[in-house]
Chains A and B, each alone.
Chain A
Amino acid sequence: MADADLRDLRVVGRAQRKIDASDKVTGRTEFADDISLPRMLYAKLLRSPHAHADIVNIDTSKAMALQGVKCVITGDSMPITFGILPVSQDEHALSPKRVRFIGDPVAAVAATSEEIATQALDLIDVVYQPLDTIANVDQAVSTSDPLIHDYGDSGNLHKLIDLEFGNVEPAFENAHSVREDLLFYGGNTHLAMEQHAAVANWTGDGKLTLWSSTQTPHYVHRALAKVLKLPPARIRVIACPNGGGFGGKSDPFNHEIAVAKLAMLTGRPVKITLTREEVFYCHRGRHPTLMWVKSGVSQDGKIEALHFRTLLDGGGYGSYGVASTYYTGALQTVTYEVERYKFQGARAFTNKPPCGPKRGHGTPQPRYALEVHLDKVAEDLKMDPAELRLKHLAPANSLTANYLRVGSIGLGACIEKAVSESGWHEKYGKLPYGTGVGIACSSYLSGAGLPIYWNDMSQSGVQLKLDRGGGVTVFCGSTDIGQGSDSILAYIVAEVLGLDPLELQIVTADTDLTPVDLGSYSSRVTLMSGNAALEAAERAREILVKHVAEKLKVPKTRVSFAEGRVFDVEDPENGMSFAEAVQISEAAQGIVGTVGSYRPPPSEGRYRGAGVGPSPAYSYSVAIALAKVDPTSGIVTVPKVWIAHDVGQCINPVTVMGQVEGSVYMGLGEALMEDMAYRENRRLVHKIPSMLEYKSPTTLEMCDVETIIVEDPDPNGPYGAKEVGQGPLLPLPPAVANAVYDAVGVRIDEVPITPEKVLKAIKDKARGKEGRYGPTSFPDIPWPEPTVVPPPWEGGDGRARKKTTTPAESSGGGSAGSGNRETGKPGART
């Protein structure tokens, strides 16, 4: 979008209140647990006290006999499996035979009160046959006995990936310098303030309604239809406003399906609200990830070859894990030029709550590893780490080695501004012992290019209804989780139709009323539902323009919309109210309504695995952290962070600022303290399933933040907008780790950067050792045959090179890429 066009905008880019701000500050927003229906029952789930066990018998008779108990169900009532990904349909609403982590639900009770339902849980007799547990990835790699699932790529390894974009080995041999590092990113969780809740209602006409605190009503709709064997047309899922999501409410959950089944069996509304402890068991948060990274760089730091290995601790079920695993290898290439790239990723099943998508989904871990690694590379080359990054940015409008299409990239401007605002050059390497600065960059998707289940349909849809009173109602399946997606719809439609956004009616996240939107995940909503809203609004505008132009007797190009009027731009007095414009249009052609839809451009990779990583646009961020390290205690404090984020174009700068600051906060928590810990010697019980013991930053730990907004509009975004909800989290952990090194000269290659780790590294260094805390080995993984995809500049067309027929050649990964090089199109990097 040209600057001249943006200057004419009246809503987009200007500070606005969110359309639901008044409800939010008065407590009127109705969250799922605020819903109460006549004759409503209350449900509780009985959860497994064993991390791994077979269920021998469940006796519910005593619970059923308790006064007030209306229904008790077990896994036999819902034998069909579900799961968010088509390739991982491995969950039961209630486990019928096998439990796989402490907290895995086995029975559900509906009673006239929550207290009675809770009492009834104690009356359910379950006989378990405990099994050996798989506590960690090392055990998962080394043994298939016991096997947690009967599917997966190898034993307890759920997923194995080996992708090769050019042959890295000769590039390592020819590089100026080569470096290898091992890093570990600990698991952490979303900790949304709202506990998950759902209310189900089954009416006599055979229709089911579920209200839920979900980020993905469409996928919940599909899971309910599958497990309950109901036609989707008889199921209505309404996503209530979420009291925070961060990815923790993006899977279909046991409790949503169980409560629906209980409503069907009792004929009464049933509500369930998880306790905070249960939310910890639901988890689906950050995968603990072990990483090995090797780069070969030129003398000035250009990455000639990059080899990345990740090993994810997935917990007891698949969840989004296959996608998460691909994501740990996908976005390394979109920030800096990488000539050749090899990625090997593995996800293990373990007997712990399942991991899944948390803000940044699978990318904060490798970003931490890459950015700490680059800090070390810069030191090896005696280069300033900011300069090294600035020198080798991925070019705008280019294809990466793994066939991701980089559109606009404001990363250079982000680095320059963050460096200048922070006084980087006066601080880096120059602050007194105990104080330091660190820099890191990152990038994130503005929406996953592909839907979760394969289909050719829209990923987001919007309907507009124009009322003859001048009211406009926007219908869209998108789900407001606090990020302001309802407001974004209003701003965009109001911009096109010249209205005040607060006057519009917004109806969202209701599978009966609204066209589909796939959900609030992968930072997709502003771009995708925004583009759908833009299309619907422009179509409505076109209709009004036609009839108003006829009425005013002016050419259509002269009809303009602003401040609730439609008028001749060359004679603004010659016009009518917006309501009158709708009325004459309705009189001429009938009711005025339009639709808009959005589907991302097809991904350019054609290899297996190419579906994870493509996005219509990538956002870019840079963080510079100032850290203070107390060398006697190891305590790290972060007084200040400078963050620059390329958002393409702000739709509403107020919500952009909120997302950036919130991301910095959450990234800081991950960097310093947040940790999902389990007692391996106590049968994998969660160590700290409470908000007190799971440490997250309070007002006293939160840093000052200076936010720099960079706007490098992307042609694929509505008005050029890209994402902001997740990207700015990513550079925080590596920036803090790099700042700790600048402060006290020790490398903390493991997140969170807790005082004991820092202190140990400082003490080691004082004893003449390396001064590093982090992992020391990467287990041997039975990697599969690599999928070999020559990069664009080596003649690749995005497809995997066909496997040769002779076994000798197909196993010769080391020689990959040598044959096709000559067919490379010169200047393929366009």
Chain B
Amino acid sequence: MARRRSESTGGRTVHFTLNGEPTEVTIAPHKTLLEVLREDLRLTGTKHGCELGECGTCAVLLDGKPVLSCLVLGLACDGKDVRTVETMADGPKLHPLQEAFAELGAAQCGYCTPGILLTAQALLEDNATPTRDDIKQALAGNLCRCTGYLKIYEAVELAAARMRGEAAEPTTESIYGRR
């Protein structure tokens, strides 16, 4: 059905690498990357909160950098490398960021989570030892209404330590609070 609609509005074919696989898709030229991913390719792991570039929910990695997929035209991705949350896990094995988010409750409703995970992944690919301030700066464009961000910071720090090969565990206080 998507194809038929695309043809009726003058569909154009783009080629890009999507989650490591060469992908060819015919899209309506006005469609954003967000719409191409969710509607034409049925990759609904990428969510949206405003479709105006205000909330960070729809962030994906374009050539390794986080972008707001609601502000990028599908056509502009021709020849590029696109990574979505669907490719974070290594087969059945969760990415250390995903593990840490699950462990610490950094994903509550889970709606902003894909965008935050990918933004954090880009940060850690650039900087293996981010400070708390580095993490805050990197995630300043991603709104989360559930967590207050604190468990997200802790999860990024935990994942970063584990990715550096450290045997890191969450602190008791972080999980149980002060008593």
Name A's B-contacting residues (CB within 8 A): 15, 17-18, 20-31, 33-34, 36, 38-39, 112-113, 115, 190-195, 241-246, 275-276, 417, 421, 481-484, 650, 653-658, 660-666, 690-692, 696, 698-700, 702, 704-710
Hey, what's the 0/1 contact readout for B34-50 against A, CB within 8 Å counting as 1?
A: 00001000101111111
Q: Which of B45, B88, B114, B144 has the most CB of A within 10 A?
A: B144
Closest-CB distance, A71 to chain B (whole angstroms): 18
Closest-CB distance, B125 to chain A (whole angstroms): 18
Please, which residues of chain B bring their CB within 8 A of the CB of A696?
143, 145
Q: Nearest B residue to A25 by beta-carbon distance?
A: B98
Give the contacting residue for A665; candidates B86, B104, B147; CB below 8 A: B147
User: Is B55 in the interface zone, CB < 8 Å from A?
Assistant: yes
The 4 residue pairs across chains A and B that have the minimum distance between CB atoms: A27-B45, A482-B109, A665-B148, A243-B111
Contact between chains at A27 and B85 (CB < 8 Å): yes
User: Is B128 in the interface zone, CB < 8 Å from A?
Assistant: no
Name B's A-contacting residues (CB within 8 A): 1, 5, 9, 38, 42, 44-52, 54-55, 57, 84-86, 88-89, 94, 97-98, 101-105, 107-114, 117, 135-137, 139-151, 153, 174-179
Please, which residues of chain A bring their CB within 8 A of the CB of B102?
17-18, 21-22, 24-25
Closest-CB distance, B14 to chain A (whole angstroms): 19
Please, which residues of chain A bring their CB within 8 A of the CB of B117?
25
Please, which residues of chain A bring their CB within 8 A of the CB of B147?
658, 661-662, 665
Docked CA distance A34–B86 (Å):
14
A/B interface sample: 22 pairs, CB < 8 A: A21-B101, A21-B103, A23-B110, A24-B109, A25-B101, A25-B107, A26-B45, A27-B114, A34-B44, A190-B145, A193-B47, A193-B143, A193-B145, A276-B49, A417-B178, A481-B109, A658-B151, A663-B148, A691-B50, A698-B141, A707-B178, A710-B179
Q: Which of B101, B108, B110, B151 has the most CB of A within 10 A?
A: B110
Contact between chains at A24 and B113 (CB < 8 Å): yes
Contact between chains at A708 and B177 (CB < 8 Å): yes
Contact between chains at B51 and A15 (CB < 8 Å): no
Contact between chains at B107 and A24 (CB < 8 Å): yes
Please, which residues of chain A bring their CB within 8 A of the CB of B97?
25
Contact between chains at A692 and B54 (CB < 8 Å): yes
Question: Majority SS of interface residues in chain B?
Answer: loop
Contact between chains at B47 and A243 (CB < 8 Å): yes
Closest-CB distance, A26 to chain B (whole angstroms): 6
Contact between chains at A657 and B151 (CB < 8 Å): yes
Docked CA distance A706–B148 (Å):
13
Docked CA distance A699–B140 (Å):
5
Closest-CB distance, A68 to chain B (whole angstroms): 9
Q: Nearest B residue to A35 by beta-carbon distance?
A: B44
Give the contacting residue for B94; candidates A26, A115, A195; CB below 8 A: A26
Closest-CB distance, B101 to chain A (whole angstroms): 5
Given A27-B44, A691-B54, residue A665 in contact with residue B177 (CB < 8 A): no
Please, which residues of chain B bring their CB within 8 A of the CB of A664?
148
Closest-CB distance, B66 to chain A (whole angstroms): 14
Docked CA distance A193–B103 (Å):
22
Given A244-B146, A658-B147, A707-B178, residue A700 in contact with residue B140 (CB < 8 A): yes
Contact between chains at B145 and A191 (CB < 8 Å): yes
Docked CA distance A468–B41 (Å):
40
Docked CA distance A241–B47 (Å):
13
Q: Which of A20, A27, A38, A421 has the most CB of B within 10 A?
A: A27
Please, which residues of chain B bring their CB within 8 A of the CB of A20?
110
Contact between chains at B86 and A26 (CB < 8 Å): yes
Give the contacting residue for A112; candidates B5, B50, B144; CB below 8 A: B5
Please, which residues of chain B bring their CB within 8 A of the CB of A276?
49-52, 54
Q: Nearest A residue to B89 by beta-carbon distance?
A: A26
Docked CA distance A506–B145 (Å):
25
Closest-CB distance, B47 to chain A (whole angstroms): 7
Given A27-B84, A31-B47, A700-B136, residue A482 in contact with residue B110 (CB < 8 A): yes
Please, which residues of chain B bring their CB within 8 A of the CB of A15?
175-176
Please, which residues of chain A bring their CB within 8 A of the CB of B143?
191, 193, 691, 696, 698
Please, which residues of chain B bring their CB within 8 A of the CB of A700?
136-137, 140
Docked CA distance A276–B42 (Å):
22
Q: Nearest B residue to A246 by beta-carbon distance?
A: B145
Q: Which of B104, B107, B142 has the most CB of A within 10 A?
A: B107
Give the contacting residue for B178; candidates A28, A481, A650, A708; CB below 8 A: A708
Please, which residues of chain A bring their CB within 8 A of the CB of B88?
26
Q: Which of A241, A417, A699, A710 has the most CB of B within 10 A?
A: A699
Please, which residues of chain A bring their CB within 8 A of the CB of B146?
244, 482, 658, 662
Contact between chains at B50 and A653 (CB < 8 Å): no
Docked CA distance A550–B50 (Å):
61
Please, which residues of chain B bring their CB within 8 A of the CB of A666?
145, 148
Contact between chains at B179 and A665 (CB < 8 Å): no
Contact between chains at B86 and A27 (CB < 8 Å): yes
Q: Which of A26, A195, A421 has the most CB of B within 10 A?
A: A26
Docked CA distance A656–B5 (Å):
47
Contact between chains at A690 and B105 (CB < 8 Å): no
Given A421-B178, A691-B143, A702-B148, residue A24 in contact with residue B49 (CB < 8 A): no
Contact between chains at B94 and A22 (CB < 8 Å): yes
Contact between chains at A25 and B113 (CB < 8 Å): yes
Give the contacting residue for B109; candidates A194, A660, A663; CB below 8 A: A194
Please, which residues of chain B bring their CB within 8 A of the CB of A657?
105, 151, 174-177
Q: Which of A195, A654, A705 has the most CB of B within 10 A?
A: A654
Please, which residues of chain A bring their CB within 8 A of the CB of B57?
193
Closest-CB distance, A70 to chain B (whole angstroms): 14
Closest-CB distance, B176 to chain A (whole angstroms): 5
Docked CA distance A696–B177 (Å):
25
Q: Nearest A residue to B145 by beta-carbon distance?
A: A244
Please, which residues of chain B bring their CB within 8 A of the CB of A702?
148-150
Docked CA distance A246–B179 (Å):
27
Closest-CB distance, B16 to chain A (whole angstroms): 19
